[in-house]
Structure 1
Amino acid sequence: MLNVGVIGTGMIGQDHIRRMTTVLSGVAVTAVSDVDSAIAAEVGARIGATVHPAGGDVVGDPNVDAVLVCSWGPTHEQYVLAAIAAGKPVFCEKPLATTQEACLRIVEAEVAYGSRLVQVGYMRRFDFAYRQLKLTLDSGEIGSPLMMHCAHRNASVPPFYQKEMAITDTAVHEIDMVRWMFGGEIAAARVLVPKKSRNGGALQDPLLLILEMDDGVIVDVELSVNIRYGYDIRGEIVGEDGTAALGSLSPLEIRTAKQLITPVPADWRERFLQAYDVEIQEWVHAISLGGQPLGPTSWDGYAAAVVSDAAVKALQTGERIPVTLAERPKLYETEVAA
């Protein structure tokens, strides 16, 4: 049984706690903490976990084998570094850290430790549809890839959402996904600004992000974050000999009153529910068997931050912005399954 301590008991933290206590196997939540002590106390009492006043205390708890970080983004670096120093595997929800410099410090700490401890929460790699798309691509059935068309559509976003968040909070999932999908790095980013939607308020919505892979593949990502009708994630790869695309939005079709209705997910929790389950179960399984996570790495978190910064600069300037990464450490050279 893997004993996990959870730092951050907000929405995503509580969802992971529900997952680990009611859905998954081989895992127990033994400690929690949150900046809101009342919420942490309520969650801890409900599941029988120790409630700590601070995240560092969760890391240091002798009854915690591994740590799950779901706190506010600016605290991620602190807790991930603490887990590395303690030699404990740590799953960190995205972002790994809020700056590329902070991400690089985590990479350097993990390299100094000598083996992988960190996994970053990019759940699309664990989604059945995306995994099938990658299997098809890797099989060679559609030939060498040339382009990929993506769409990331939200029904709405909260009032605190700023225009740069279309890159750093929304498109970052596609940024990580295409690096994994094509097995390469992103070389440059551009952002095109279409006609503004009346639903966007003060935001420039939608946006079109253009990513150039280092082997010449071009990826376009439509970002529409106030499209009203639902949460719609799309992806199609164009190859030399054919195409492959993500399938239907819903496993359900409704036929009534001369209509065929395919329900659209309301939000990311509905669309990627099973991907989150698989993501955490595989993390638990990998650590329990081999002591090392196999999903997205600290390097993946760092690379996503660098590309995001380049895309934000492209949005601000209207220019094509090259992506420059540090030298990739040998620790991250081996490709992993997820």
Structure 2
Amino acid sequence: MTLSVGVIGLGVMGAEHLRLLREETAGVHVAAICDADAERAGRLAQDAEVFSDPLALIASDRVEAVVIASPDATHAGLAEACVAQRKFALCEKPLAGTAVEALQVVDAEVTLGRRLIQVGYMRRFDPAYVEMKRAKDAGEIGAPVLLHNQHRNAAAPGWFTGPMAVTNSFVHEIDISRWLLGSELVSAVVHAAPGGDPLMITMETERGEIVSTEVFMNAHYGYHVHAEIVGRSGTVQMSQPAVTLTNSALHHGHGYPENWVPRFRDAYRVQMNAWVRSVATGEPVGASAWDGYVATAIAEQVVTALQTEGKAKLFLGARPEIYA
């Protein structure tokens, strides 16, 4: 059986999702695409039907499931439309621009009584993070005490403001920290370097674990994500972000990617294949709409702590039973 998928948004991530569906995912056919740039959509169409209206794509009988990779501000409304049409969707992060909007997506699923939305927090599928979680869950390092996260970009675009370092970048650390540790975050303190970059964000979980995260949007040397879990009897951390080491021109080492796509290419591929299989079986995988709400809600509260230079006690509300 082949799943017919529609892709909304064909920018950097949308184009990569489209490539993955066509080249590296079994049991799927791209039936429809939609992008605000009609010329780009036409160029990438191949045998897919081109839509100018994303809601029409979602409602189309030719489309069984949807990948949402349009601008962030559109995610919540399109995710809600997928729930209304009872269609599974893989929605790029963030789920919504605000926690209120994200909660509306959650409420739509709760009303329907089933999960249809997977949020694209792809790090849950990254081999390094998966192995770290396996080691932690197997008790190989003892009870976790600390989680150190590092999130460095080569350079942020000019329109990338201070709060966006939290709402667009740090949200990944919010989600992966919850997933790795299996516990909820209850407080946060933010320290900003002069000029607002980098940030050091320290959070505490309900079990007293400490999560430290450096968010450095203009580190210049490349895109570099790293994590280490410190347990009572050992540690587990990522190795260098490369599979080879090079000796050349009096140097020994490895390079860094320019952005996140090469670093997490395997994670995106595994995520897409897992999502397609989950649609076929009806068994959700990956980050849920509730997880998407939690990441956005915590990010909002961390932004408030950043602006007030205070400590935030994080509040999320009760988790609905369908996400238990």
Mapping 1:1-338, distance limit 5 Å: 1-44=2-45, 47-194=46-193, 196=194, 203-288=195-280, 290-333=281-324
For residue 177 of structure 1, give the secondary structure of its aligned residue in structure 2: helix
Contact 1:89 1:293 in 2 (8 A): no
Aligned equivalents of 2:98, 2:251: Cα separation in 1 = 49
For residue 190 of structure 2, give the secondary structure of its aligned residue in structure 1: strand
| Alpha-carbon displacement from aligned partner over 1:45-101 (angstroms, at most 9, x marks no partner) | xx2100111100110111111011001111111111111011100110001011101
For residue 302 of structure 1, give the secondary structure of its aligned residue in structure 2: helix
Aligned equivalents of 2:72, 2:47: Cα separation in 1 = 27
TM-score, normalising length from structure 1? 0.93
One-letter code aligned to 2:277? H
Aligned equivalents of 1:321, 1:257: Cα separation in 2 = 49
One-letter code aligned to 1:224? F
Shift of 1:193: 1.9
| Unmatched 5+ stretches in structure 2 | none
For residue 255 of structure 2, give the secondary structure of its aligned residue in structure 1: coil
Contact 1:59 1:67 in 2 (8 A): yes
| Alpha-carbon displacement from aligned partner over 1:151-187 (angstroms, at most 9, x marks no partner) | 1011101111000011111111000001111112110
Aligned equivalents of 2:289, 2:34: Cα separation in 1 = 23
Q: Relative to structure 1, is the Cα distance of residues 259 and 48 closer, same or farther in structure 2, using a 3 angstrom cutoff?
A: same
Aligned equivalents of 1:258, 1:295: Cα separation in 2 = 44
One-letter code aligned to 1:331? I
Shift of 1:258: 4.4
Percent of aligned pairs with the same amino acid: 39
Other-structure match for 1:200: none
One-letter code aligned to 2:55? G
Aligned equivalents of 2:254, 2:237: Cα separation in 1 = 17
| Alpha-carbon displacement from aligned partner over 1:272-317 (angstroms, at most 9, x marks no partner) | 00100000100001111x1242110000000001110111011101
Aligned length in residues: 323
Aligned equivalents of 2:284, 2:57: Cα separation in 1 = 19
TM-score, normalising length from structure 2? 0.97
Aligned equivalents of 2:231, 2:282: Cα separation in 1 = 38
Aligned equivalents of 2:315, 2:250: Cα separation in 1 = 54
For residue 51 of structure 1, give the secondary structure of its aligned residue in structure 2: strand
Shift of 1:263: 1.6
Aligned equivalents of 1:277, 1:64: Cα separation in 2 = 21
| Unmatched 5+ stretches in structure 1 | 197-202, 334-338
For residue 164 of structure 1, give the secondary structure of its aligned residue in structure 2: helix
Shift of 1:256: 3.0
Shift of 1:237: 0.9
One-letter code aligned to 1:209? I
Shift of 1:254: 0.6
For residue 19 of structure 1, give the secondary structure of its aligned residue in structure 2: helix
Aligned equivalents of 1:230, 1:205: Cα separation in 2 = 16
Runs of 4+ in 1 over 6 A off after TM superposition: none
Contact 1:250 1:265 in 2 (8 A): no
Aligned equivalents of 1:308, 1:164: Cα separation in 2 = 9
Aligned equivalents of 1:226, 1:120: Cα separation in 2 = 26
CA RMSD across the alignment: 1.1
